[in-house]
Structure 1
Amino acid sequence: MDNMAGQKSGLVIATNLSVIFMVVLWLIPTVGLLVSSFRDRDQISASGWWQAPFSVELAFRTRADDGEPQLIDGRYVIEGNIFETEEVQEAFAEGEGTITAFGTRGAEPGQFPAGTEGETRDGDLVTINPDGTYIYSTAEEPGRRAPRIYFQADTPAEFTLFNYRTILGSAGMDRAFINTLTVTIPATIIPILIAAFAAYALAWMQFPGRGILIAAVVGLLVVPLQLALVPLLKLHNEIGIGQSFLGIWLAHTGFGLPLAIYLLRNYMVGLPRDIIESAKVDGATDFQIFTKIILPLSFPALASFAIFQFLWTWNDLLVAKVFLPSNSESWVMTVKIADDLLGSRGGDWGILAAAAFISIAVPLIVFFAMQKYLVRGLLAGSVK
């Protein structure tokens, strides 16, 4: 009675839960990247992206430069509000923040709890309250430079568009975006055109060696592209297209053809034989059958491979570094991020997160717009 109508088996429930778990697991890095791209640099360094909605404890340093020293009971006293000092005024411009601890040395910014009195190595006394007010007293008259103070403060969660403004206004990013489109669009269209003809020939045309060619295509699927990078680059240099857009188009075409032919051939071989035979009886040539019947019916498979090729080409770094010139005028977005931003802003994770999310925005739009064709194309030829 386990398989009664209207009841779901335990295997179906387990499968659904597994799929949901995998989807959530894959979405977590993307969500973290998106949240980090809107966070302040210091808060990213102090806490994880999952703590973004909560206040963050950060360390600051400043000088007690708010007021003139006053002589009280034989000691020089400086009073003021630490949030209004020149070095940290911008960080607390909105008046939010709570001092949790302070110190007199950079190695121990939280040496004394807020509201207590701390003593420096020179015998000076410092008191900093949670609201930022402080009292600094010394037996000797202070010099021209005000004394240095270190403190820790709970700062409210801060979200900003600064990272995106920096990336979009970065010199060369617009050029890198155009270069990426220049590489990706032809490198997606060219292999589809070639693979469609080859897949039709392997699926419906009879000629000697067809089985060997099909086996060779399947075998090429497991060959890593890294093996062909250096020989292919040498070939391109010999024929005069080394490190150029034409060279990278042909490289992506060669690397993508095995998968393209495999997917399209599996789909075309599953099309109704009666349609093709009827067309041949009516006198249609192979080219007419291909253009009038096969291509329209194979649109899901074509769209499926187009998604794969577009995503892979857009996010590619290795092939772009090998087959494109090394000058900044030819950088695609992945190379721009890796060579420029990682070098100049290696510790600025907010900038890097924004750059990475901008680079994946277009692939995400393409994927979600065409995902139904992806599923149909992948299932093509899997069942008879």
Structure 2
Amino acid sequence: MITSSKRSLLTYLVHATVLFLVVIWTIPTAGLFISSIRDKDQLSVSGWWTALSTSEQQLVTRANDPSKQIQVGDKFVIQGNLFEGAPGAVTFFGFSSLEPAAFTAGSVAALRNDQTLQVMENGDYEFSSPTEWKGSRGQRIFYSAEVPPRFTLDNYREVLGTEGLGKSFLNSLTVTIPATIIPILVAAFAAYALAWMRFPGRALLVAAVVGLLVVPLQMSLIPLLKSYNLIGDFFGVGSKTYVGIWLAHTGFGLPLAIYLLRNYIAGLPREIIESARVDGASDFDIFRKIVLPLSFPALASFAIFQFLWVWNDLLIAMVFLGNNADQLVLTGQLRELLGSRGGNWEILTASAFITIIVPLCVFFSLQRFLVRGLLAGSVK
């Protein structure tokens, strides 16, 4: 009973810890999504956790163009609504930045030259003057308002259209999909050979693969780029192409892919392989009909890691593709937005969520194979 009680307590502790980690990782993602669909005025004055509550904002706007004034009796009047049809309630208003909340909603503020301003609680305003209004711009109105939550998809429309994120999104897919598939194909053949085929130097090759796992990526970038440029000049191919970045990501991803897949494939039941050979199956038939279907968990595990790595990469993309707007990937476009639109939170949050939505879909679609593939491919 004591052992069972301790085991139950440990189980609850493990579940509580996992739940805590899930919540810790989910909260920032939820906050990013909520911020990306909020109205930009509300996002600039309050946090995402207040998105479902009414917020009080200090705002300023200009009245309608004086050319739209109308004459009512002996007065010239400019009318409009501060909210332009959106919900909200004005509490205070003013006509000077020194006293932006000098008057309560519904009262009449006296301006110069016998002019008046009245702002109602629903946002309706009226400028009145005994003489015709002059100038090309409307008068400024400062006001405090309680604005209910407003959600919109305009942020996504802006970043996908005018900010060029749609093109960068396609560029990232163009880079990531081949850079994930190619190393998986190459590594699967290599892993089968290292696991089940007898040839001289196999142990040395396995040791070399393990050694390449600890080589820093930054150390190989310059010699790799020089070699690629020499080959490109020899064949008359430009250096800033998708082929270059596909090959670069393939080279950087192969050691981990071969290591994981080789250990997984080596752990498959020997009886199945030997039975297939007795029946006359070639190595290619065994690989295609037996090993590949049984190795799907390991393939999915590496696909998740490789996809996330390539999708979130900036360094290799800058080296092998450059800053050309036609080939700029999502991470590069986000860097540009941070420099030019760093104060526009609605742009940055929408861009960031577009960046993470594809990796999230990939992870959740393959996550059931992740732990099984990693455990089977790492403990041999």
The TM-score by the shorter chain falls in which range? 0.7 to 0.9
By how many angstroms is 1:128 displaced?
5.5
User: Separation in 2 of the partners of 1:304 and 1:11?
Assistant: 28
Q: Which residue pairs with 2:224 in the alignment?
A: 232
Residue 286 and residue 32 in structure 1: after superposition, are their counterparts in 2 closer, same or farther (change >3 A)? same
2:90 matches 1:99: yes
Q: Which residue pairs with 1:74 in the alignment?
A: none
Native 8 Å contact 1:185 1:310 kept in 2? yes
User: Separation in 2 of the partners of 1:325 and 1:275?
Assistant: 49
- RMSD between aligned alpha carbons? 3.5
User: Separation in 2 of the partners of 1:129 and 1:263?
Assistant: 69
SS in structure 2 at match of 1:53 = coil
Residue 172 and residue 144 in structure 1: after superposition, are their counterparts in 2 closer, same or farther (change >3 A)? closer
User: Separation in 1 of the partners of 2:213 and 2:177?
Assistant: 22
Worse-matched range after superposition: 278-287 or 227-236:
278-287
User: Separation in 2 of the partners of 1:176 and 1:110?
Assistant: 45
One-letter amino acid of the counterpart of residue 372, structure 1: R
Report the identity percentage.
57
Native 8 Å contact 1:79 1:134 kept in 2? no
Aligned pairs for 1:76-155 within 5 A: 84=80, 88=82, 91-94=83-86, 96-106=87-97, 109-110=100-101, 130-132=121-123, 144=134, 148-155=140-147
One-letter amino acid of the counterpart of residue 109, structure 1: P
Native 8 Å contact 2:93 2:119 kept in 1? yes
User: Separation in 1 of the partners of 2:106 and 2:33?
Assistant: 38
Residue 166 and residue 267 in structure 1: after superposition, are their counterparts in 2 closer, same or farther (change >3 A)? same
Residue 293 and residue 158 in structure 1: after superposition, are their counterparts in 2 closer, same or farther (change >3 A)? same
SS in structure 2 at match of 1:160 = coil
Q: Which residue pairs with 2:235 in the alignment?
A: none
Worse-matched range after superposition: 124-133 or 152-161:
124-133
SS in structure 1 at match of 2:316 = helix
Worse-matched range after superposition: 323-332 or 251-260:
323-332
1:159-206 C-alpha deviation (Å, 9 max, x unpaired)? 112122223333754443332222122111110111112222332334
User: Separation in 2 of the partners of 1:286 and 1:56?
Assistant: 68
Native 8 Å contact 1:55 1:157 kept in 2? yes
2:292 matches 1:292: no
One-letter amino acid of the counterpart of residue 13, structure 2: A
Native 8 Å contact 1:44 1:349 kept in 2? yes
2:356 matches 1:321: no
SS in structure 2 at match of 1:149 = strand
Aligned pairs for 1:4-83 within 5 A: 4=4, 8-62=7-61
User: Separation in 1 of the partners of 2:99 and 2:263?
Assistant: 67
SS in structure 2 at match of 1:3 = helix
User: Separation in 2 of the partners of 1:49 and 1:255?
Assistant: 39
Aligned pairs for 1:264-303 within 5 A: 264-303=261-300
Native 8 Å contact 1:80 1:133 kept in 2? no
Native 8 Å contact 1:63 1:148 kept in 2? yes
By how many angstroms is 1:62 displaced?
3.7
Residue 102 and residue 379 in structure 1: after superposition, are their counterparts in 2 closer, same or farther (change >3 A)? same
Q: Which residue pairs with 1:244 in the alignment?
A: 241
Native 8 Å contact 2:76 2:133 kept in 1? no
By how many angstroms is 1:232 displaced?
1.7
By how many angstroms is 1:10 displaced?
1.5
Native 8 Å contact 2:107 2:119 kept in 1? yes
By how many angstroms is 1:58 displaced?
2.1
By how many angstroms is 1:21 displaced?
1.0
Native 8 Å contact 1:244 1:325 kept in 2? no
Aligned pairs for 1:216-227 within 5 A: 216-227=208-219
SS in structure 2 at match of 1:374 = helix
User: Separation in 2 of the partners of 1:383 and 1:226?
Assistant: 28
Residue 131 and residue 13 in structure 1: after superposition, are their counterparts in 2 closer, same or farther (change >3 A)? same
One-letter amino acid of the counterpart of residue 154, structure 1: E
SS in structure 2 at match of 1:39 = coil
SS in structure 2 at match of 1:243 = coil
Q: Which residue pairs with 2:341 in the alignment?
A: 345
One-letter amino acid of the counterpart of residue 3, structure 2: N
One-letter amino acid of the counterpart of residue 344, structure 2: D
Q: TM-score, normalised by structure 1?
A: 0.81
Residue 170 and residue 62 in structure 1: after superposition, are their counterparts in 2 closer, same or farther (change >3 A)? closer
Q: Which residue pairs with 1:365 in the alignment?
A: 361
By how many angstroms is 1:2 displaced?
2.1
User: Separation in 2 of the partners of 1:325 and 1:373?
Assistant: 35
User: Separation in 1 of the partners of 2:179 and 2:379?
Assistant: 30
Native 8 Å contact 2:298 2:377 kept in 1? no
Unaligned runs of 5+ in 2: 233-237
Residue 119 and residue 188 in structure 1: after superposition, are their counterparts in 2 closer, same or farther (change >3 A)? same
Native 8 Å contact 2:263 2:376 kept in 1? yes
Length, aligned pairs only = 369
By how many angstroms is 1:254 displaced?
0.9
One-letter amino acid of the counterpart of residue 22, structure 1: L
User: Separation in 1 of the partners of 2:216 and 2:50?
Assistant: 40
1:6-54 C-alpha deviation (Å, 9 max, x unpaired)? x852221111111111111111121112111211111111111111111
